[in-house]
Structure 1
Amino acid sequence: MKTFQSRDDVPVHEKWRLEDLYSNLDRWEQDFANVLEMVKKLSSFDGEIHQAQDLLEYLKLSEELGLVYKCLYVYAMLKVDTDTRVNESQALLERISQVGQQISAATSFFKPFLLSLDESTLKQYLEEVKELTYFEDDLYELYRYKDHVLSKEKEEVLSQMGDALSSPGKTFGMINNADIAFGEVTNDDGEKVSLTRGMYAKLIEDKDRQKRKEAYKAYYKPYVQLQNTTASTLATAVKNNVLMANLRRYPSALEKSLFADEVPKQVYENLIKVTKQNLEPMKRYVRVRKEMLGVDELRAYDLSVPLVDGVKKDISFDEAYETMLESLEPLGNEYVSTLRGFKEKRYIDVRETPGKRSGAYNIGVYGVHPFILLNHRDDLDSLFTLTHECGHGMHSYYSSTHQPPNRAGYSIFVAEVASTVNEVLLIRHLLERTNDKQMKKYLLNHFIDSFKGTMFTQVMFAEFEKITHEKAEAKEPLNADVFHSIYERLFREYHGEELVIDDEVKFGWSRIPHFYRPFYVYKYATGYAAAIHLADQLLTGDQQTLNAYLTFLKSGSADTPLNLLRATGVDLTKPEPIEQALSTFGGLVDEFSAL
């Protein structure tokens, strides 16, 4: 793998063309000045919307402002992410972030204003000015919240409390990212060094079991020490969610979280129930893992080590791209040729360089194109990451190309479907293409582990959230002991009796940032189940599924997430998609253990 000491060393065609957003900084500054003017103009509408034409002017200006703001923000963000050490880029991002707060303040009057109108008045406005029809669905969507919006005075008080209510999450973020000090591990020279997250990710997959155990103990050491602090932040976050649900007159905190996506509570409960009825393949995989590792007792630090050696294949970026395109041929020529253009037109920033943000993501900009960040390392994992992010990228591209601005964004609920369909098509393609038994075992192991992480683990997290919120709603205490007891019980249930539970296991809840974003993780599991079903159908060459799936990618938020998926043949209000996905998992475990 080639390493790059500087961004200047990276070939031009492997870097973003940020000129697609702004040809130079002067153009950015011009738009920045325009946005400030628009914010002023927007706030002048407060108390001044008296007729249909006023409403139209406000909505048009608000949409235009949103589009320009996004371009400004993304440009600054991408500049920072390519090199987080550059102060000028950080200053740009800070400036535009502050404008975001100003926009929020300038538009805060609108929701209470709209809900103070009689629906008959809104109907009359829509009849008077035909151009308002474009915004009709958005306006009625706000009406859906009518029972949950408080008086203007109370809304103002709640908006002022925003910082205080979000402080548990911010405090946890500071503890978890800035202040945490892990224990020590022994390096290759026999010296004791402080563990870092990056080192942990490598060591927990190390073949040497003693190294894994040492890293595991060192990693959990601060979480054990800080258990009462993190229990306090999490308990407060949960109680805040419950408080807000009560204040806004929702039946429960869970239903408040599901309201935006119009997802009924039974979808969430059904996911947990069906998964728990189908835990046997997961427990079988734990048994296979114990057998293959040849240990007397399987422990938590044995769950991440790859079970198959010797597949450290070098795959250049160009080769990875071609392999991805071949694997996605079931999605049709238009999809593949459009995605080929992503590389040629420099939508992707490929290489890891000093100061560059870690990880990978896709962000779509309406009227421009998607931007994909990678830290490509010329290996198999990087091929999977590329394929995953390009799934998101194509979703953004199709939605922006086929929908107007107010319909082009899509919910997180459907976002993971597009990326996971691509990953499943890739792994099926690689399995089909290889005759190497070792490679086949490696790919099956990779597939099973990603299934386990995205489906079983996220459902276990979702159940933990449900139980803790129900306890808060019943005014039962929430503290470290309560969290320990719930988490350990769930971990045992989901992994089975073969796993010997170390004391550290019960602290698992204390390191999960997603718990501060309530009832979010279940979307990974529903998205994964939907993607497994769709990919399997696409591989049969079913033209109807292909047409329906491409329509789904082009739909943005033209309908509710559940309806968008229903149109592809996946109905998440029924148990079948979850059952099918879990049955696929069982088949993979059988195939793997047979090899």
Structure 2
Amino acid sequence: MITYSSRNDVPEIEKWKLEDIYNSQKDWEADVKAIEKIADVLRSYDGKIHDGGTLLSYLTESEKLSFMFGKVSAYAMLQVDIDTRESSAQSIQDRAKQLGVKISSSTAFFMPFLLSLDESTLKAYLKEEQGLKYFEKNLLEAYRYKAHVLTKEKEELLSQLGEALSSPSHTYSMINNADIKFGTVTNDNGEKVELTRGMYSKLIEDQDRTKRKEAYKAYYQPYVQLKNSIASTLAAAIKNNVTTAKIRKYPSALEKALFSDNVPKEVYENLISTTKENIAPLHRYSEIRKEKLGLKELHQYDLSVPIVQGVEQKIGYETAYSTMLNALKPLGEEYIKILDSFKNARYIDVRETPGKRSGAYNLGVYGVHPYVLLNHHDDLSSLFTLAHEMGHAMHSHFSHKTQPQNTAKYSIFVAEVASTVNEVLLIHYLLNQETDETMRWYLLNHFIDKFKGTLFTQVMFADFELKTHEKAEQGQPLNAQVFSEIYEELFREYNGDAIIFDEEVKYGWARIPHFYRPFYVYKYATGFASAIHLADRILKGDEKTLASYIEFLKSGSSDYPLELLKKTGVDLTSPEPIQNALKQFSDLVEEFSEM
């Protein structure tokens, strides 16, 4: 594994080219000033929109502002994530957030105004001003929110609280990325060194159980120590969600979170109930893992190590990229050609460096291109992460190139489909290419673990979110003890009795940043189930499914997410896609048990 002590040591080709957004900080500053002026102009429309022409003028200026602010905020975010310790980067991100608050305040009048119009009046505006045709879908969609939009004064007040309401998430991010200090582990020279996330992801898969346990204890040490502080931020975030839902007259925080995607709560509830009804194969897998590893006791630090021993794959970044391209050939020439071009265009920030944001993500910047953050570690897990994030990047590319600005941004609900299709195609490619039986067993084990992490674990997290929000809605207290009790109970329910529960297990909630994005994680599971269906059809050479899938990638938000998926043959309003995915998991576990 290549490690870097400084970002300066990383080759330029493996770093983002932020100049594609702005050539210099001076250009960024110019757009900030321009946005401030446009925001003032938009505010001046308050009370003055009386015909289609004025409405079109407002909407045109608003879209222009949205385009510029997308670049301003993306540039600030990417600067911070390069090094979360850098105060100058934090400063420009703070300015971008304050600018966002000003924009919200300046435009807060618009939605209450729009919903105060009779629908017949709006349709008359649309008829008299042809330019409004571009905005028609968005304008009519606004009426769906009528019951949840407040008065102009209240909307403006709520917008001014935006930064304060996001404070718990920001505080947790600073704790988790900039300030956290993990415990120490013993390196190969017998020296004690501070654990990093990158080291942890390697050590928790080490065949040496002593190393795994040591890394596990060191990793959880700060989360246990900071449990009360982190519980305070999480409780505040949950209460903010609940309070905002009440203010906006939603039946629950869950239904507020699902509303924009037009997803009925039954989809969320059925995901959890269907998974629990089919949990037995996961419990069976825990038993198999314990047996195959030859352990008297199975602990949480034994759940990530490959069961097949003596198999190590070092996969450099160059090899990983070419392997990914070969694996994704079933998606067609156009897809591969575009994806191949991303690598040398510096769309990807590849290496882990001190202070860099952990994990991986894709950020599509409209009018520019996707930016992908990685912390690549030259292993199989990093290869899958690469394929996953480039699925997001291709989704952004296709939607941004095909859709106009107002429908170019796809919903998070469908985002995980594109990324997971790539992962499923990759594992099938690797299994088909591999002739060594031991390596095939290793890959099958990896697929089962990926399946477990992307579906079962995310459903468990979704269950945790639902239970904690329901407690807040019932006025019950939320603190470290409550979170730990709920998390431990769910961990036992989902993982079965084969696992010994160390003290650290119940503090798992403290390390999950996704909990600060309410009711997000369930989309990994629905996305995975959808991807299983689509990848299976594509691998069988179903040209109709392939064509509909590429169209899906180009669709942005041109329709509701469930409807976009139905066009590819996936209907998530029925339990069938979840059941089919869980059946495949059961088959994989059965096949693995016989090897």
Offset, 1:463: 1.3
Q: CA deviation at 1:198?
A: 4.4
The alpha carbon displacement at 1:283 in A equals 1.0
| 1:368 alignment partner AA | V
Amino acid at match of 1:580: N
SS, match of residue 468 in structure 2: helix
State the SS of the aligned residue for 2:371. strand
Note if 1:573 corresponds to 2:573. Answer: yes
CA separation of 1:382 and 1:149: change in aligned 2, threshold 3 A: same
1:298 alignment counterpart: 298
CA distance in 2, matches of 1:375, 1:503: 29
2:466 matched residue in structure 1: 466
In structure 1, the residue matched to 2:395 is: 395
Equivalents in 2 of 1:508, 1:22: separation in Å? 40
Instruction: Give the Cα separation in 1 of the matches to 2:65 and 2:161.
Output: 26
The equivalent residue for 1:374 is 374
Name the structure 2 match of 1:122: 122
Distance (Å, rounded) in 2 between the aligned partners of 1:84 and 1:231: 22
Q: How does 1:6-405 map to 2 (within 5 A)?
A: 13-23=13-23, 27-82=27-82, 92-177=92-177, 180=180, 182-183=182-183, 185-186=185-186, 195-352=195-352, 357-405=357-405
Cα RMSD, aligned residues only: 2.8
Using the TM superposition, give the Cα deviation of residue 415 of structure 1 relative to its aligned residue in structure 2, in angstroms. Answer: 0.5
More moved, 76-85 vs 437-446: 76-85
Report the alpha carbon displacement of residue 29 of structure 1 after superposing the two structures with TM: 4.7
Mapped to 1, the partners of 2:90 and 2:572 lie a distance apart of 42
Cα offset, 1:521, TM superposition: 1.1
2:565 partner letter: L
Read off the aligned partner of 1:107 and give its amino acid letter. T
Deviates more, 1:54-63 or 1:76-85: 76-85
Report which stretch shifted further, 213-222 or 483-492.
213-222
What CA distance in whole angstroms lies between the structure 1 residues aligned with 2:511 and 2:381?
A: 24
Which range moves more in the overlay, 335-344 or 68-77?
68-77
The answer for the alignment partner of 2:550 in structure 1 is: 550
Mapped partners of 1:531, 1:430: distance in 2: 17
Query: Helix, strand or coil for the counterpart of 2:363?
Result: strand
Note the residue ranges of structure 1 that are not aligned, 5 or more in a row: none
Corresponding residue SS for 1:143 = helix
CA 1:190–1:25: 2 relative to 1, 3 Å: closer
In 2, Cα distance between equivalents of 1:531 and 1:351: 28
| Distance change in 2, residues 1:87/1:240 (3 Å) | closer
Alignment correspondent of 1:559: 559
Q: Distance in 2 between matches of 1:194 and 1:229?
A: 22
Contact 2:420 2:528 in 1 (8 A): yes
1:363 is paired with a residue whose SS is strand
Taking the aligned partners of 1:167 and 1:11, their CA distance within structure 2 comes to 35
Deviations 1:254-308 (A, max 9, x none): 1111111100011001101110111121111101110122111112221122223
Residue 487 of structure 1 aligns to which amino acid in structure 2? Y
Q: Which residue of 2 aligns with 1:406?
A: 406
- One-letter amino acid matched to 1:313: Q
Q: How many residues align?
A: 595
Deviations, residues 51-75 of structure 1 (Å, cap 9, x unaligned): 2111111100111121122233334
- The amino acid that maps onto 1:120 is S
Aligned to 1:492: 492
Evaluate the alpha carbon distance shift between residue 301 and residue 352 of structure 1 in structure 2; reply closer, same or farther with a 3 A threshold: closer
Change over 3 Å in CA distance of 1:265–1:404 after alignment to 2: same
Quick one: distance in 2 between partners of 1:14 and 1:486? 42
Give the deviation of 1:483 after TM superposition.
3.2
**Aligned CA distance change for structure 1 residues 229 and 532 (closer, same or farther; 3 Å):** same
Measure how far apart 1:540 and its partner are.
0.3
Q: 1:225-280, CA deviations, whole angstroms, 9 ceiling, x for partnerless residues?
A: 55455445444443433333222222222111111110001100110111011112
Structure 2 residue 443 is matched with structure 1 residue 448: no
Q: Is the 8 A contact 2:104 2:159 kept in 1?
A: no
Question: Residue 587 of structure 2 aligns with which residue?
Answer: 587
CA distance in 1, matches of 2:364, 2:224: 40
Q: Please tell me whether residue 522 in structure 1 is matched to residue 522 in structure 2.
A: yes
Q: C-alpha offsets along residues 330-352 of structure 1, whole Å, 9 cap, x if unaligned?
A: 11122112222223544334445
Say whether the 8 Å CA contact 2:177–2:358 is kept in structure 1.
Answer: no
Identity %: 64
CA contact (8 A) 2:97 2:163 kept: no
1:50, distance to aligned residue in structure 2 (A): 2.2
Go from structure 1 to structure 2 and tell me whether the alpha carbon gap of 1:506 and 1:14 turns closer, same or farther (over 3 Å shift).
closer
Show structure 2 runs of 5+ residues with no match: none
Q: Distance in 2 between matches of 1:377 and 1:506?
A: 28
Q: Deviations over 1:392-446 (max 9, x none)?
A: 1111111111111000001110111101101110110010001012221221122
Deviates more, 1:81-90 or 1:447-456: 81-90
Length-normalised TM-score, structure 2: 0.91
Q: Distance in 2 between matches of 1:536 and 1:158?
A: 46
**CA 1:592–1:554 in 2, change beyond 3 Å: closer, same or farther?**
same
Amino acid at match of 1:304: S
Distance change (3 Å), C-alpha of 1:161 and 1:552: same
Q: CA deviation at 1:142?
A: 1.9
Is 1:424 aligned to 2:407, yes or no? no
For structure 1, which segment, 530-539 or 9-18, has the greater mean C-alpha deviation from structure 2 after superposition? Answer: 9-18
Take 1:259 and 1:436, find their aligned partners in 2: how far apart are those partners? 49
The 3 A distance-change label for structure 1 pair 408 and 315 is: same
On the 8 A contact 2:462/2:522 being kept in 1, the answer is yes
C-alpha distance in structure 2 between counterparts of 1:501 and 1:87, whole Å:
40
Question: Offset of 1:381 from its aligned partner?
Answer: 2.8
CA distance change for structure 1 residues 577 and 202 in 2, over 3 Å: closer, same or farther?
Answer: same
Task: Report which stretch shifted further, 554-563 or 212-221.
Answer: 212-221
Shift of 1:4: 5.9
| Contact 2:105–2:159 under 8 Å retained in 1 | no
Distance 1:484 1:81 in 2: 30
